[in-house]
Amino acid sequence: MNTKPIFSVLAQLTQIISEFAHNHAIPTATIELVNTTLLSDHQKHELGDITTNAAMVFGKYLKVNPATIGQELLDVIAANADAQEYISTTMLIKPGFINITLKEHIFLEQARYFFAAQSTQPFAIVEIEQKPYAYNIEFVSANPTGPLHLGHGRGGIIGNTLAHILRYCGYQATQEFYINDAGNQINKLGQSLKIRYLQKVHPTDILPMPEDGYQGEYLVTIAEQLVQEYTDTLVDKDDSYFAQIAKDQMLTYQQETLRNYGIEFDVWFSEKTLHASNAIQQAIALVVKAGHTYTTEDGTLWFASTKFGDDKDRVLRKSNGELTYVAADFAYLQNKKNRGFNKLIMILGQDHHGYVNRMKAAMQALGYNPDDLDIILYQLVTLKECGEQVRMSKRAGKIVELADVVEAVTADVARFFYLNKKADAHLEFDIALALSQSEENPVFYIQYAYVRIESILKKAAQLSQLTTINSEDLQTLSSDERLIIKKILELHTLLWSITHNYQTHLLSYYTAEIARLLHSYYTNHKVIDTENIATSRHRIAFLMIIQATCGLCLDLLGISKKTSM
């Protein structure tokens, strides 16, 4: 049996089209515009199984009517003996699309392949270099000055799902959290905690919190713990002592929140390590030597980033000798590249828009290809509860914690809701919908599809005639079964595209569509019929294929596969 029947068909058709193009002296750049794909949309299913725009692309280049080129291509395909083994009919559709309907046996072979490949990785077909291509995905990277808030959940799920997909496809993907534990915000954190501590030790004294201090209740909680453990013995400790305590507790809490959300980082990188070593000085020296800096009269060292497309030049070292965040960014980029990562991905909130050109400029100044760095920006998240938008204020300490969202709706629901929209579109998190146990809740709808199959398989296992299901139980596929096979095949293209465009939300859309097809199939086909064992075994086998696909999607999304609901 052909291991990848329809993949092989697509590859052969692509080869035929490519040879036709070369025979007509059509350049490679034009050939790359050709799109030969499966017709997996149910509205286009009756038009055929495969479509290609080759005639239109070549016709435009050759300045020939696409219909004429299309007929020439059809003649070439008809003359190819191998192609006729899998082609049933062809159709030329204006203005020049070629649609191809495949023979029945191709779909049966493909279904049997999917059944046999349930425990393998049938979609991990990304071409990998001999040396595995390594990605570093940095995301969340919140300051350790407070709990993770509502918005951090969005960057977290984008990065985590992207890592899952890259690894499934065969790449190396390291998930990294950059701990911003150097700089004024840590000093301010220590000062804020000390004031909260002193307020508890000496409640009658008036010790107001500075306007730019951290106002959140979490520091009050830590202060109360310190009083319980140390009473008033810490009053003479300086701000740095309290900063270390607050940072450690906040970081631990952030890590716990992320674990409950289903994210385990591979690397927790401390910014302080860059300052403790000479990494920043070495990176700056390299940029200075390359001639990408200048010094002003007051002694300030500037990075001439505008010559690399940035909107303004950036300070690397202030006149008093203090290093800036930009300087640390240089060292951090260099550190990642020195660790052997081919591609660096950073996932940031939309308020970091100016970061893109700045970091691209830094890559070039360090001598790296700026295309080795991709930055994904995601829009704001707002919370909707009881039909009203929840107002938040970080300065006043009024934030919605990610931990609270996860606890309220479960990690499964939170992950899907955060991912179920394009990153650069505003996301409204509807708590009422997230808590709903109905088909309107996409997570409930998808998990119920998986459970539905699980229930059928358990019931079938109780009947001796319906045990030991195997690929040979699959017989000729119906029209809707062929459509489902094409939709399953679409996952290959989808995963491949996500490794290039990082549009992870498309996987959530796809998973919901697979669930819809399953529910529709279950409604329209009686699966267990003791009066027709052959048909029952066929449909059970087919459901097992759908379940494996749905299960894979849930795994990649980091959502649990329930066995009962």
Q: What is the pLDDT of residue 64?
A: 93
Can you give the C-alpha Rg of the chain in angstroms? 29
- pTM to 2 decimal places: 0.91
Task: Answer yes or no: is pLDDT of 391 > 80.
Answer: no
Let me know how long the chain is.
Answer: 565
Q: What is the pLDDT of residue 282?
A: 95
Q: What is the pLDDT of residue 216?
A: 84
Helix (H, G, I), strand (E, B) or coil at 303: strand
Q: What is the pLDDT of residue 497?
A: 92
- Residue 227: which residues within 8 A CB-CB, separation 6 or more? 197, 200, 201
Q: What is the pLDDT of residue 28?
A: 94
**Residue range 5-102, CATH number:** 3.30.1360.70
Task: Answer yes or no: is pLDDT of 333 > 70.
Answer: yes
Task: Answer yes or no: is pLDDT of 32 > 90.
Answer: yes
Task: Answer yes or no: is pLDDT of 309 > 90.
Answer: yes
Q: What is the DSSP string of 487-498?
A: HHHHHHHHHHHH
Q: What is the pLDDT of residue 471?
A: 93
Name the band, by pLDDT with cuts 50, 70 and 90, for residue 400. Answer: confident
Kind of pairing between the strands at 134-138 and 343-349: parallel
Which residue's entry shows tokens 């020439």? Answer: 72
- Tell me which of 3.40.50.2300, 1.10.730.10, 1.10.287.3610, 1.20.120.1200 is the CATH number of domain 442-557: 1.10.730.10
Which H/E stretch holds residue 29?
A: helix 28-31
Which whole number is the average pLDDT over 12-34? 94
117-132 b/e (C-beta count within 10 Å ≥ 16 → b): beeeebbbebeeeeee
Q: Give percent of the chain with pLDDT exceeding 90.
A: 78
Which residue's entry shows tokens 């403790």? Answer: 276
Phi (first) and psi of residue 247, to 5 degrees? -60, -45
Task: Answer yes or no: is pLDDT of 492 > 70.
Answer: yes
One-letter identity of residue 504:
T
Of 7-11, 60-64, 523-527, the range with the lowest mean pLDDT is 7-11
Q: What is the pLDDT of residue 67?
A: 94
Q: What is the DSSP string of 10-27?
A: HHHHHHHHHHHHHHTT--
Q: Note the maximum CA span of the chain.
A: 95
Q: How far apart are CA 561 and CA 550, in angstroms?
A: 9
Q: What is the pLDDT of residue 1?
A: 39
Task: Answer yes or no: is pLDDT of 213 > 90.
Answer: no
Q: How far is CA 310 from CA 270, 357, 447, in A?
A: 27, 5, 46
Question: Nearest-CA neighbor of 418 among 154, 155, 158?
Answer: 154
Q: What is the pLDDT of residue 4?
A: 64
Helix (H, G, I), strand (E, B) or coil at 84: helix
**Planar angle of CA 14, 489, 117, nearest 5 degrees:** 115
Tens of pLDDT, residue by residue over 521-549, are 988 999 999 999 999 999 999 999 999 99
Q: Tell me the domain boundaries of the chain.
A: 5-102, 184-251, 442-557
Q: How far is CA 390 from CA 82, 178, 384, 396, in A?
A: 62, 29, 6, 14
Alpha helices in 202-261 (DSSP H): 217-230, 239-260
Tens of pLDDT, residue by residue over 235-263, are 999 999 999 999 999 999 999 999 999 99
Q: How far apart are CA 308 and CA 422, in angstroms?
A: 29
Where is pLDDT greater, at 316 or 129?
Answer: 316
Two tokens, residue 349: 């909130």
Two tokens, residue 174: 């390291």
Task: Answer yes or no: is pLDDT of 207 > 90.
Answer: no
Which whole number is the average pLDDT over 289-309? 96
Two tokens, residue 393: 């204020």
Task: Answer yes or no: is pLDDT of 126 > 50.
Answer: no
Q: What is the pLDDT of residue 395?
A: 42
Q: Across the beta sheet with 134-138, what order do the strands follow?
A: 267-270, 172-179, 134-138, 343-349, 373-378
Q: Rounded mean pLDDT of the chain?
A: 91
